[in-house]
Chains A and B, each alone.
Chain A
Amino acid sequence: MATLKLKKSEGAGKRAITDTNLLLTITIVVFAVMYIGAMLFLGRGFLRWQTFFNILNTNASLIITAIGLSIVMICGSIDISVGGVVGLVTMCCAVNLDYQGGSPVTALAIALGIGLAFGLVQGFLVAYLEIQPFIVTLAGMFFARGLTTIIHAEPFNVANEAFLALKDTRITIPFLGSVNNSGNFTAAYMEIGVAVALVLVVLAFVMLRWTSLGRSFYALGGNRQSALMLGINTKRSLFLAHVISGLLAGIAGYVYIMHSASGAVTNADGMEMNAIAASIIGGTMLSGGVGNIIGTFFGVLSLGTIQNIVSSAGFTDAWWAKITVAAMICLFLVIQSIVLARKKQTE
């Protein structure tokens, strides 16, 4: 009787700390420690709610691309074209709004169309022609970046009034805010893009956890052969994962231009790397099968926070932000590797 009980509790303990949960916990703890540390040692700026929401405001499009990337990575694939697609979408939207008399609606249609087109083509090549995803999406990135310069090489600011009105729409959060120097209470605000990003986070979370498509992504990434034997249409799942990633990159492009309101070739430069970094920090395993969208969300927040910390701690030189991001990726990769090694030992 006693041994039975012991076994039961052991089993329960194991179930409580799965890979996903462990990595997610590590991510959230690291983020919390970082933010609280910044509050204690760097003070004022980090004590204001607006600082937190500004991190969200600047990184809304990164959150959206990182969701797409996490989904693709859970399938055991990768999509490095997202940065290029975001750049291309911003340029096309800007040109449409300013030179072709477009409206926010036509721009949104363009954004979704471009994202979908990239997703469909890349998904087809990766899933049905079985070409390495890295090569396909690398070519996709090249194509998007090159096309951006062909469409318009000079940077410019969008002057479309309807769009600027949309851009300046703010969602204020009345109960969160801070008292400024003159003693007035100012409520914290966030941009529409953040709301879009948060909705997408919830949707992706629900999709991955409770729909058969979402579960098939995990099965596919965990072991493709077994997934096939379970009767999952692995090709279709992989195809759809890439389509979702492309579509999300299109939306991210629209959110990006809602924040920056400019068309420039350098838009979203290196965003694919930040998105991969956010996913890794958030506990998505590159080998596939393990990952969590909530973790990805905290991954983006951690990235944004560390960049904020580095710049407010006096390391204003541009290189420090990148070096710290790289160090963070390194740290989390080592943690993942140790988790994997431990899992293999217990098996």
Chain B
Amino acid sequence: MTIEKTKDDNILKRLLHSQMIIPLAALLALVVFNLIADPSFFAITINQDSTGNSVLAGQLISILNNGSELAILAIGMTLVTAATGGQDISVGATIAVAGSAMLAVLCGGNMRPDTLAAPIIVAFLFGVVVAMVCGAFNGVMVAVFKVQPMVATLILYTAGRSIAAWINNNALPIIPADSGFGVFGGFIPGVPIPTPVFIAIACFVVIFLVLKFTSLGLYVQSVGINEKAARLNGLNPTFIKWLTFVILGVCVAVAALIKVSRISTINYQTIAADIEMDAILAVALGGNALSGGKFNMGSSILGAYVIQFLTTTLYKFNVASAALPAYKAVVVIILVVLSASIVRAKLSAIWKKIRSPKQAEVEAVK
């Protein structure tokens, strides 16, 4: 009996001490809130889409679907945060740049093409290269010129959407509907689950394998914890910091492919607007220190879906999309206040005070 009890205690304690507890608690709170407010939130139905496919529909599916880009970005953002102790605020703008570049290749100068001017894979790879160049630029500013990440990425944050508009001469290229480009943001014929979910899962598998079988995670964490010590141990902090920005660039390109494919065109000013804030929040919500160092990738990804859960919940209660940030801000402030070390210390002191008479009783019985 007693052994079982301690084991239970251990599992509970381990869960309480793990990073996952923050996003899990937030998720639980959201689920309970939705269950009380309107249980139909969790209903999943099978609908016919415009092409006659039967596809899954429902709020949960839309969370998984729309959260894909955010979760993919959260991967790169976690690495950048861990290695540099700063965040990249240019991801939304570079999504616009990469998306614009992909569309430019696909359309080949003609804004209303009947067929694609280049294979999708070529356009995608071009987008990847463009996004990696943007990432490399940020990386050079941060790693070589030692500029604070937030400020270094301010450059592309300011200029990114303008560059995106400039690539296509401010025209709006529209991809023909029957070209098959819409698959990446929609559904593969015959498959009821949205494609972005598969793309996101593929990204998770890749990063999981990379973290498992290479030393990337270890290197990133050691650079983030103590750059000098990492250098003395033979690592090259400049290169590793730069590398995390390039990896984030790849994530941006994948997210851009999904974003552009969803609407088969682009709006330079609104595509992926404010996504940088959500991505940073996902990392913070995942319990990762925004000042760098240790990270937990799974926790960040979970954090991304929790953010999307919150967004979808707010939409369901008819909150206008422009007013959304106000509610998100309140949630964020509550979260960061609760997870602040000073508040935690105070709370646990109060908790001990409340518990101490009881504990004394228990010990007396023993």
Contact = CB atoms under 8 A, between A and B. Distances in A.
B336 interface: yes
A137 to B, nearest CB: 10
Interface in B309-366: 320, 322-330, 332-333, 336-337, 340-343
Contacts of B332: 135, 138-139, 142
B158 A277 contact: yes
Given A139-B332, A330-B141, A132 B291 contact: yes
B326 A142 contact: yes
A296 to B, nearest CB: 15
Interface stretch (A102-110, A223-231, A248-256, A314-322): A314-322
A323 B329 contact: no
Contact of A139 (B155, B162, B333): B333
A116 B142 CA distance: 34
B80 to A, nearest CB: 14
A138 B280 contact: yes
A143 B156 contact: no
A146 B152 contact: no
A276 B154 CA distance: 9
A134 interface: yes
Interface stretch (A29-37, A123-131, A213-221): A123-131
Nearest to B87: A134
B156 A131 contact: no
Interface residues on A, range: 35 or more
B277 A131 contact: no
A287 B280 CA distance: 21
Interface stretch (B55-63, B116-124, B143-151, B227-235): B143-151
A129 B323 contact: no
A334 B145 CA distance: 6
Nearest to A140: B329
Contact of A333 (B141, B170, B328): B141
B291 to A, nearest CB: 7
B158 A273 contact: yes
Contacts of A150: 323, 326
Contacts of B156: 326
A329 B326 CA distance: 30
A320 B280 CA distance: 29
A138 B323 contact: no
Contact of B159 (A78, A323, A336): A323
Contacts of B305: none
Interface in B220-270: none
B165 interface: yes
B99 to A, nearest CB: 16
A319 B322 contact: no
What DSSP secondary structure best describes chain B's contact surface? helix
B198 interface: no
A147 interface: yes
A330 B327 CA distance: 34
A323 B291 contact: no
B326 A280 contact: no
A307 B297 CA distance: 42
Contacts of A318: 162, 165
A319 B158 contact: no
Q: Counting chain A CB atoms within 10 Å of each CB, which of B147, B327, B340 scores highest?
A: B147
Given A78-B150, A135-B290, A326-B156, A125 B326 contact: no
Contacts of A238: none
Contacts of B326: 142-143, 145-147, 149-150
A10 to B, nearest CB: 27
Interface string B103-133: 0000000000000000000000000000000
B148 A287 contact: yes
Given A134-B87, A134-B150, A337-B147, A129 B342 contact: yes
A298 B337 CA distance: 38
A325 B342 contact: no
Q: Counting chain B CB atoms within 10 Å of each CB, which of A132, A142, A273 scores highest?
A: A142
11 contacts: A78-B150, A125-B337, A128-B342, A139-B329, A149-B320, A150-B326, A265-B322, A286-B147, A325-B159, A337-B145, A340-B146
Interface of B: 87, 141, 145-148, 150-152, 154-159, 161-163, 165-166, 170, 277, 280, 284, 290-291, 320, 322-330, 332-333, 336-337, 340-343
- Closest 9 A/B residue pairs (Cβ): A146-B326, A319-B162, A326-B159, A142-B325, A143-B329, A142-B329, A337-B145, A146-B325, A149-B322
